[in-house]
Structure 1
Amino acid sequence: MTLGEQFERYVLNALANHRLPLSKAAIRLLVMIAAHESGGFRYVKQMGNGPARGLLQMEPIGLEEVRRYVVLRPERFRSLRLPEHLDELIFNTELAIVCARAFFMAKPEPLPDENNIEGLAKYAKQHWNTEAGKARWEDYANAYRELNA
């Protein structure tokens, strides 16, 4: 079993524990983001003085988006305890995954097909990294493929 397959199982369990939608596309997207943003599971804190935290490198603005969405849709997040501080995502990977899933649930665009790795990578670039970020969509796709090689 590859590291990617192991982490997919972990993501699936995290989402199931919180009764969140666990489509294969969502799971692959989260695995892809973690693979790239953490440098292959090496970093949980952004290099330098950057604010991103956790394997998925969530930024403060992303966590604020999650907070707003959870308030709007409390029925979807009954078991979700949001972190008081972004640093909690360093030590609680399950919480980081759940926050990232909630972040994507707030997006109106549907996720690409689970087998469309390039489409998922472009979605990650557009919504997670944004046009202002340094990463390219190819970075996400390559990190996912390396994790599953």
Structure 2
Amino acid sequence: MPINSDQLRTLIVQPVLAALNLPAPDVAENLIMGTAAHESHLGDYIKQVGGGPAMGIYQMEPATLNDCYVNYLDYSSRAALKTVVDGFLAAQPAGPDGSPDKAAQLASNMAYATAMCRIRYYRAPGALPSDPNDLSGLAAYWKQYYNTPLGAGTVEQFIADYNRYLG
């Protein structure tokens, strides 16, 4: 059963975006909501269907999570942003060393997964669409920078899932 989209938006996405304080929160909000609608049908599943590595309502792969840290958040100039992102981590699930298991928390911690989804989009080289209600623009941005041109998803599927789950 899908997550209630109004509750996801108001209780998770909006507070996380406010805490991150990154540009274009209104556009990012609709893009993130659309990503959840398409990638997991708002939480119908939290582990990639077919045995792949993607996790959570945004279906982020651990390799993508790691890349966001190694090639972006771990730079000292971004220490404040990393502190905010890591502030969403819960103590459990933890890894073998006792620190939070970030990859596992993509599935178990919606606030952290939302923060990482926003970081993924924030790092994208292209500017976000200017209109938060430009569904075609949001879908094209998702395809280019989240699903990637080689990914199986399509702009049309994103739009259909957005309308189905968020319309």
Question: What's the TM-score once normalised by structure 2's chain length?
Answer: 0.79
Residues in 1 aligned to 2:141 and 2:20: alpha-carbon distance in whole angstroms: 23
Residues in 2 aligned to 1:59 and 1:108: alpha-carbon distance in whole angstroms: 20
8 Å CA contact 2:43–2:56 kept in 1: the answer is: no
Are positions 1:69 and 2:72 aligned together?
Answer: yes
Q: How many residues align?
A: 147
Residues in 1 aligned to 2:8 and 2:156: alpha-carbon distance in whole angstroms: 20
Are positions 1:141 and 2:167 aligned together?
Answer: no
8 Å CA contact 2:20–2:85 kept in 1: the answer is: no
Task: Give how far 1:130 is off.
Answer: 0.8
Q: How high is the sequence identity, in percent, across the aligned residues?
A: 33
Residues in 1 aligned to 2:6 and 2:156: alpha-carbon distance in whole angstroms: 20
> How do 1:68-107 and structure 2 match up within 5 A?
68-72=71-75, 73-81=78-86, 84-107=101-124
Are positions 1:39 and 2:41 aligned together?
Answer: yes
Residues in 2 aligned to 1:8 and 1:40: alpha-carbon distance in whole angstroms: 11
- Tell me which residue corresponds to 2:62: 60
8 Å CA contact 2:73–2:82 kept in 1: the answer is: yes
- Mark the structure with the bigger radius of gyration: 2
8 Å CA contact 2:35–2:58 kept in 1: the answer is: yes
Which consecutive residues of structure 2, in runs of 5 or more, have no partner in the other structure?
A: 90-99
Task: Give how far 1:4 is off.
Answer: 3.1
User: After alignment, is 108-117 or 80-89 more displaced?
Assistant: 80-89
Residues in 2 aligned to 1:38 and 1:119: alpha-carbon distance in whole angstroms: 20
RMSD: 2.0
Task: Give how far 1:8 is off.
Answer: 1.9
Task: Give how far 1:147 is off.
Answer: 1.7
- Structure 1 stretches of 4+ with a deviation exceeding 4 A read none
Question: What's the TM-score once normalised by structure 1's chain length?
Answer: 0.88
3-state SS, counterpart of residue 35 of structure 1: helix
Task: Give how far 1:136 is off.
Answer: 0.3
Residues in 2 aligned to 1:53 and 1:37: alpha-carbon distance in whole angstroms: 10
- Tell me which residue corresponds to 1:131: 149
8 Å CA contact 1:41–1:55 kept in 2: the answer is: yes
User: After alignment, is 74-83 or 4-13 more displaced?
Assistant: 74-83
